[in-house]
Structure 1
Amino acid sequence: MGKLLENLYVTLGLGLLAAIILSATFHAEVATFALIIRWVHVFFGIVWIGLLYYFNFVQIPTMPKIPADLKGGVSKFIAPEALFFFRWGAAFTVLAGLLLAWAMGYMHEAFSFQPGFRLIGIGMWLGLIMAFNVWFIIWPNQKRALGLVDADDASKAKSARTAMLTSRVNTLLSIPMLYAMTTFQSAAA
């Protein structure tokens, strides 16, 4: 079993297989498109928000404590890889969420805050704002801050601060967004 778990993709495949077995065993009669999309939405949401919290709870507060000669390990290897999964987690979370709202027939009602759909609508709008921040503010600024694109030291420092503050905005927004999403789901179930 150890050899299987050494490979991340095999581990993910085994987890997916276990989920399929659970679905076939307990929800064979309700394994609908919406159920599958909800699962995909939650999976990618965990990837996205998990990395958001990793950055804000672990990496950002720890970086000032790391000796200068070791910071390159984080900025050249760990951060770019984490940012890859972070931004694509955001994209797939939003895509699956929109597909779910469409499949469940409440996309228009949620986006226009109609009664009964205001809470999920607020969650959806917060998620869209957060995804926008990831792709159009955090990622471009992180590319400069991490030296993935050419930038002078002043631009790198300014970009690092902008990325950090926008990440903090997303952390702030994630709390009411998660409340809105989970409360609507439990109320709708």
Structure 2
Amino acid sequence: MNPLNTLTGTLVGGLVLSLIIMAIAAGTGSSMGGVDAVNAFLIWLHVFAGITWIGLLYYFNFVQVQALSDAASDDEGPSGAAITRYVAPRALWWFRWAALVTWLAGFTFLLHTQNTINVFTLGLVPGGGDAMYGLTLGVGAWLGSIMLFNVWMVIWPNQKKVLGMVEASAEEINKARRTAFVFSRTNTLLSIPMLASMVGAGHGMMF
């Protein structure tokens, strides 16, 4: 059976290929630069889930919002009902859980490397560790935490009203749609400096 025929098969195939590549690298004596296996797994999980989360955030903002707007204004074309009924609920499932896994993997990595206090205090605690690392990664960690809060406490509860998962009046639905939109846009804005900080902590800032 072709693994590409199913999502599960595709993901398992990708994981197996990754393990093969890592085994080959280990066999050639390649070093991970002092990063142990647990750290490597947590970083991988953090990045994988983060790509899923932010990728869907950009899909919503770059594609779906405008597509639904165009569909609503096109009297002769198909409506956006199919997206609202079939695409959005599934996308939002992956979106919100990827956000949570991203945060938990990142937080667990900080605990494992004993950098939690240094990062969440932005490197301001004397003797807490590398102050610049704490500041750079800390900015990203706080922005990511705010974004996670927005997803679970604002965007998702309001989207449930928009999608008809909970009862709401027409006025409440319109308000919920606007609230979800504004906070989704806010997360898109915050994602840009968040990504700069996260990447900068590991690979150096642009300035």
Residue matched to 1:80: 89
For the residues of structure 1 that align with 2:204 and 2:69, how far apart are their CA atoms? Answer: 43
User: Which one-letter code corresponds to 1:144 in the other structure?
Assistant: K
| 1:41 matched to 2:24 | no
TM alignment of 1:84-123, pairs within 5 A: 84-114=93-123, 115-116=131-132, 117-123=134-140
Residue in structure 2 matched with residue 15 of structure 1 by the alignment:
14
What TM-score comes out, normalization by structure 1 length? 0.94
1:151 maps onto 2:168 in alignment: yes
Q: Structure 1 CA distance, aligned partners of 2:142 and 2:26?
A: 31
Runs of 4+ in 1 over 2 A off after TM superposition: 27-31, 67-70
The 1:107–1:17 alpha-carbon spacing in structure 2 relative to 1, beyond 3 Å, is same
Asked if the contact 2:84–2:163 (Cα under 8 Å) also holds between the matched residues in 1, the reply is: yes
179-188 vs 105-114, which deviates more? 179-188
Of 56, 70, 80, the match for 1:71:
80
Q: Distance in 2 between matches of 1:104 and 1:77?
A: 41
Per-residue deviation at 1:34? 0.2
Which of these two proteins has the greater Rg computed from alpha carbons?
2
**Separation in 2, partners of 1:127, 1:92:** 12
Q: 1:55 aligns with which of 38, 57, 60?
A: 60
SS in 2 for 1:70: coil
Structure 1: gaps of 5 or more residues:
none
Corresponding residue pairs, total: 187
Higher-helix-fraction structure: 1
Provide the rounded CA distance (Å) in 2 between the counterparts of 1:24 and 1:103: 24
Residues 74-120 of structure 1: CA distance to partner in whole angstroms, max 9, x if unpaired?
Answer: 11110000000000000000000001111222111000111221010
TM-score by length of 2: 0.86
Counterpart contact for 2:3–2:13, Cα < 8 Å: no
8 Å contact from structure 2 (residues 49, 98) kept in 1: yes
Any idea what SS the aligned residue of 2:166 has? Answer: coil
Among 188, 191, 200, which residue is 1:174 paired with? Answer: 191
Higher normalized contact order (CA 8 Å, seq sep 6+, divided by chain length) = 1
